[in-house]
Structure 1
Amino acid sequence: MEPTYIRHLELLGFERRFFPSQHYVYMFLVKWSDLSEKLVYRKYPEIHTLHKSLKEIFPIEAGDINAKDRIIPSLPAPKWFDNQKTTENRQGTLAEYLHSLLNLPPKISRCQLLRDFFQVRPDDEIPPSHYPFKRNETYLMSKDRSRSNTSEISGPIILETYRTIADYQKSSRYEIDLSAGDMVEIVEKNPNGWWFCQCDSRRGWVPASYLEPLEGPDEAEEPEPNYEGELYETIKAYTAVQEDELTLESGEVIEVIHKLLDGWWVVRNGEQTGYFPSMFLHKTGLKKEADIDKNVIRRETPPPRRSTIRNAKSIHTKGRNRISQEAYRRNSRRYLQQRGSRNSLNRTVPKAFLGSPIQDTRFRSGNSPVPASAAKKEIPAVPPRPSPELILERCTPDTRKKVVIHSTS
C-alpha cells in the first residue's frame, strides 16, 4: 500500500509567540492523500534546513552537478534576527517555494523527508502556553497575494481566548468535543449562538453558552434593549421549552428588542415577550441572505441555553447582572402604551390640517361668503405625498406588520 503523501500545502499566515521567548512561526494547512487535514506550525530556519537536506539528497535536481538540471526552487537563507517585517515580507516567497516543491516529480514531492517534516508534532496539537501578560498574535495572509513576492496581510488578528465552563459532546461532525476548563480560540462569532472555535489542532462549532471570556464573567452584548424593536420574520416554527420562551409559527412577523450573543434573542409578539432562537429569524426583506446563512451552518436545532447546562463551573466569582424577563415585559408594555397614546393623538388632529387655510375656509363661522379673490389667495398648492417610511411610522403596529408581510411575500 502506498504511504500517504501531501496533496496540498497552503500557507495561512504566521504567529508571533512570546514563550519561551519572542519568535515567529508560520502556519500551514496540510492536506494529505487520505483526505485528512492538519494544521502545523514551523519556524523559517527549520524550513531552510529542510531545503538544504533536499539539495543533499537530490544533487542532480539541485543543480550541483549541472546547473541546467536544477528543478528544486531556491530559498533565501534566514537572517540572524527575524522581526515582524521580515516575517511578513517572506510569506510570498515561501508560498511560491512550497507550491513549486509539490509540483516536482513524485520522488521529491512525496519523499520520506518531506512527509516527516509536515507530520503533526506535539507542539502543533498543544501550542506553548501563553505569556502571562501577552497573547499570541495571529496574522492571516491574504489569499489573493499568496503567490506574490510582496505579500499583504490582514492583521494583526488576535484571536480571543475563551474558557469552557462544562463538558460538551458534539452532535454533528461540524462540531468538536470540549471538556470543562479547555481553552479555545474564537475564529468566528455567529449571531445564531454557534461559534467556530479552535482547540489545539481541532476546529469546529461550539455553543456560545458553554464559553466564557477570561477577563470578565460574560461576553459584551448590546448595552440596553431597544424597546422600539426591529421587525423580523420567523423562518421556522419553534415550540417553547421553558416558560420564558415564546412559541411561534413560521411566517410570523415579530419585533426583536434585545440581541444576545448566545443566540437567544428577546422578542415581542403583540404584548407577549420572551426568548426565541435567532437562527429561526431573518430581517424582513433579507430572505436570500437568511437562506444562505442557514445552508452554511447546516443544523436544525438552536444552541442550548446557559440555564440548562449542568455542572457549569466558572472561574469568575460573580456573573454579570442580566435583565430579568419580568423587566423585559414591564418595560415593553410601558413602551407599547406610550406608543399607542402617541398614535391616538396623531390620529385625533391630523397634522396636515393644523393651521391650513383650507381648514379655515371650511370651518369658518357665519354664513358670510368669502370673496373669491381672498379664497384664491388662501388655497395653497397640493401638498406632496408623504413617504412610505412616514406612513409606516404613523400607522398602527398591526397595519405595519400587514404591510411588511405583503411586501415580502
Structure 2
Amino acid sequence: MRVGVPKEIKDHEDRVGLVPSSVRELVAHGHQVVVETRAGQGIGMDDAAYTAAGAMIADTADEIFASADMIVKVKEPQAGERKKLRDGQILFTYLHLAPDPDQSRDLMASGATCIAYETVTSPTGALPLLAPMSEVAGRMAPQVGAHALENAGGGMGVLLGGVPGVLPAEVVILGGGVAGTNAAQVALGLGADVTVVDRSLDVLRRLVATFGARVKTAHSNADTIGQLVTRADLVISTVLIPGAAAPKLVTREHVAAMKTGSVLVDVAIDQGGAAETSKATTHSDPTYVVDGVVHYCVANMPGGVARTSTFALNNATLPFTLALADKGWRKALQDDPHLANGLNVHGGRITYRAVAEALGFDYLETAKALAA
C-alpha cells in the first residue's frame, strides 16, 4: 500500500501523522510511504530523517492526495484538503465530526473511507488513540489557565498556587477521565485548590485513591456544577461522550455569574465544547472574553507541544496504521472490532451512530458497511 503523510495546515499545527520510526516500520512491512516536504519540521524531523527511514518526499500535498491509498494525518482535513480526497481512499486521523456538519458532508461526498482516531476503542472500552492527546491537553490546561489568570493574560491577576498568607486559586475540573485526571495532577502540583466533578462514583473514588486528601471531589449534577463554577477562579472542562457532541454543562447564566477575570478552559471544544459560550479558537488567537470571563478554547491544544504530542500519538496509532496497510481497511476492521469502531464515514454515509444522531444524518451500521 502507498501511505501518504501531508503537512498539517491547521493554524499552528506542527504535529505530523508519522514520525520516521513509524515510516521505517511501514517500509519494513513492504509499503511505500510518501511524506510532504517539511511535514516534520515542527517536531525537529527534517526531510533527510524521513528519507533515511525509507520515505519518499513529495513537493506538494496535491501529490500526496493524488497518489496515496491511505492518508495518515493528525487533525481533521481542512476544507481544501477535503476536496482532494477521492473515492476508495482511506483517511486515518482525528475527525471530531459531531459538531462539524460541513466536514461531514464533504467527507461523505468524497467517497473516502474515514476512520477516526477518537472512536477507536480498546477491549476495556477505553479510547486508546484519544488517550495520549487527552493526557497532553489535560496537563496543558492548568498551564494555559494559569497564564490566562495573570493580568497579562486578561485575568484577575491570581497566582494559581498562591503564596504564604494568600489563598491559592480555586480550580474546578469538570470530568475525571484521562484529561481531567491529568489536569488535576498538574493543578495540584502547582499548589491550587482543586475540585473534580464527575457523575461516576468509581471515578471519584479513583481520584481520591490517587491524590488523597489533596483533591476534593463532587458528584455531578446541575446544582453542584452551578455552585462550583460560579465561585471558581479557573474552570477546566474535560467532559467527553465518545464521538458525540459534548454536553453543555456550563450555561450562559453560569458564565454571567462567574467572577470578573476568572478563566474557562474548554478542553472539550473539539466536540463542540461543554460551555454554551464556548467557540473554537486557535493558537494564534487563543482567548476571548464573555461577561468578563476569559475563555481559552483552542481546538488543537496538543499542537502547542507538537514534538511530545506527535511521538505520544504515534506510539498509540502505529499498530492500527500497520493493520490497515497490511490487510486493507475492510479486512483490518473485520478482524478487529475495536478498530471497526473507528469507522465514521464510508460509501457516502455516516457509520458512527452518535455522529449521525448529532447531525441528523442517515446512519449506516458498520456491520453493513463491512459486508457490502
**Highest RCO, 1 vs 2 (Cα 8 Å, sep ≥ 6):** 2
More helix by share: 2
Which structure has more strand as a fraction of its residues?
A: 1
TM > 0.5: no
Which structure is larger by alpha-carbon Rg, 1 or 2?
1
